[in-house]
Structure 1
């Protein structure tokens, strides 16, 4: 069976032959019919491949969601276990535990600021920012002009 691009090339060749007045009409129609059936079959087979690949991508998307949920569960368990270790070290008063593979320590982290209302912050703490283009608005306007 020929490749789809080869069949398309044959169609182009027949179109060139159509300009030849010496070629009988019966021969051209016969060639066109043969190519047409082969072309239709090939296109249908390509559509089957597309359908199969589409099903595969749906399965992959489901698997990605399943793995993302599993990742979320694992991260929450890790966080819970870290909190458990921290709480138990606090209760026992231990600041550092040196093991064979791991050394665990409670340490002071730099303080952080959590802003609830940016409008309540005085002007002296504001840093000017460079402007930023609104590309979505530009795209919307361009689409309206078309």
Structure 2
């Protein structure tokens, strides 16, 4: 069976032959050849569609595995937090600032100071950093569909392959 690009090349060659005015009496042979190429192309295209669908199933399976692993990671992270918190509370309760073990040294220490914002609106402007704007493309699309003119924007409709 020919490769897909070879089949496309045959179409191109046949297209050039059809432009030849001396070929009127061999039209039946060209039609047969076209039908054969069409069938070959259709089989190849369907096989590629099957491969694509199999890859989509693989991708969905990977998405599900990512979700499962993320949930597992979150559980482990929560366990770490709970264990550290348990240890911290009991060291404080017993008044132990430091425990020196054979593998680890545990100590209660002061963290670096952090800022807690209690009312963002009350904070003076000099402490506010302007953020870059973001275009609202959803509203722009709605307005463009209503035939409203927006400078610097237009609707573009593309085409793609659908495999059902």
Q: TM-score with structure 1 length normalisation?
A: 0.86
* CA distance in structure 2 between the partners assigned to 1:89 and 1:20 by the alignment: 94
Name the structure 1 match of 2:5. 5
Give 1:82-101 correspondences, 5 Å limit: 82-101=84-103
Number of the residue aligned with 2:66: 64
User: Bigger shift: 34-43 or 109-118?
Assistant: 109-118
**Aligned residue number for residue 81 of structure 1:** 83
Query: 1:110 offset after TM fit, Å?
Result: 2.3
Structure 1 residue runs without a partner (length 5+): none
Within 1, Cα distance between the matches of 2:72 and 2:121?
39
Cross-structure match for 1:49: 51
More helix by share: 1
Q: Give the secondary-structure state (helix, strand or coil) at the position aligned to 1:34.
A: helix
* 1:127 and 2:130 are equivalent in the alignment: no
Instruction: Please name the residue that 2:158 is paired with.
Output: none
Segments ≥4 residues shifted beyond 6 Å: none
Q: How many residues align?
A: 143
Deviation at 1:130, TM superposition (A): 4.7
Q: Counterpart of 1:107?
A: 109
- CA displacement at 1:135 relative to structure 2: 3.4
Distance in structure 2 (CA, Å) of the matches to 1:113 and 1:80: 25
| Runs of 5+ consecutive residues of structure 2 not aligned to the other structure | 145-149, 155-164
Query: TM-score of the superposition, structure 2-length normalised?
Result: 0.77
Which residue, out of 115, 118, 121, partners 1:116?
118
Give SS of 2:110's match.
coil
What is the Cα deviation at residue 7 of structure 1? 0.8
Alpha-carbon shift at residue 120 of structure 1 (Å): 2.8
Q: CA deviation at 1:126?
A: 3.3
Q: CA RMSD in A?
A: 2.2
Which aligned pairs between 1:22-37 and structure 2 lie closer than 5 A? 22-23=22-23, 24-37=26-39
User: Is residue 2:17 matched to residue 1:17?
Assistant: yes
TM-aligned CA deviation for residue 15 of structure 1: 0.2
Structure 2: distance between partners of 1:19 and 1:130: 64
